[in-house]
Amino acid sequence: MTALPAFDMQGQGDTAVLLLHGIGGGRSIWSDAASGTARALAEAGFRAVAIDLPGYGDSAAIGTPGMDGFVAAVRAVIDRIGARRTVLLGHSMGGMVAQELVARSPLGVDGLVLACTSASFGKSDGEWQAQFVAERLAPLDAGLGMAAMAARLVPGLVSPHAPAQALQVAQDVMARVPEATYRAALRAIAGFDRRAALPQIAVPTLLLAAEHDRTAPPEAMQRMAARIPGAEYLCLTQAGHIANVEAAAAFNAAVVSFLRRHFMAA
């Protein structure tokens, strides 16, 4: 039996929105101190459920953190909550976890919000993937630690317009990710490829891109949207990869608008 991960729940709506963080995140990224997404959803009449994926925050790592464990953990939360309707909102790696879960077992998932993510990890060339992982892990291999790596990495994940506070929040959240978890998660998503599964997605889906996102470029997300039947696409201006923190008001408004149109709260 899969261990239940740590999660916070706000709101009482019939529709539960499970918030899945990125590789440098945790459930705190959805809090009032960061994006405020959980509160925005609760105030709109939805049940917001922010999850720490295995190995992150207060969730224990069962074995090596990876896609199998992430998917199993999210499914365990879906089963435990037992909401009338369930929507997965995944940012970056969280969007990959959402796609993986729907590709494996779509039952019980009624909608998707895929934010600043992709359907595959870069090029399909294994050598390219290995080089990318090596480059991303180089600061850790040099003994700099997660805090120093976050200080180096996060400025490249935001737009030129990013407020200093948003930059600091993102760095603080990433700095708290255990190094072992980050290493394992990066290697896990390096092999991710669910492009062939996109046309089989049969639930209302919003793809939310960001104008200055170099990790999941808007044009790539627009191509994803074109392959998902009936998918909606929206690009947030003056935001980068961490759009949920950098442009929180616009991000939350877009998500709430989508949910209200497809999952009117009771």
The pLDDT, as a whole number, for residue 122 is: 64
pLDDT by residue (tens digit) across 175-209? 999 999 999 999 889 889 999 999 999 999 999 99
Tell me what percent of the residues of the chain surpass a pLDDT of 70: 97
Average pLDDT rounded to a whole number, residues 139-156:
93
Burial class, 134, CB count within 10 angstroms (exposed 0-12 / middle 13-18 / buried 19+): exposed
Average pLDDT rounded to a whole number, residues 121-143:
79
Average pLDDT of the chain to the nearest whole number: 94
Distance CA 144, CA 247 (A): 29
pLDDT by residue (tens digit) across 5-55? 999 999 998 999 999 999 999 999 999 999 999 999 999 999 999 999 999
Contact 245, 210 (CB under 8 A): no
CA–CA distances in Å: residue 11 to residues 19, 83, 195: 13, 12, 34
The pLDDT, as a whole number, for residue 266 is: 44
Radius of gyration, alpha carbons of the chain: 17
- Domains annotated for the chain, with CATH where assigned, are 7-262 (3.40.50.1820)
Backbone φ and ψ for 143, nearest 5 degrees, come out as 85, 20
DSSP class of residue 8?
Answer: E
Q: Is the pLDDT of residue 62 over 70?
A: yes
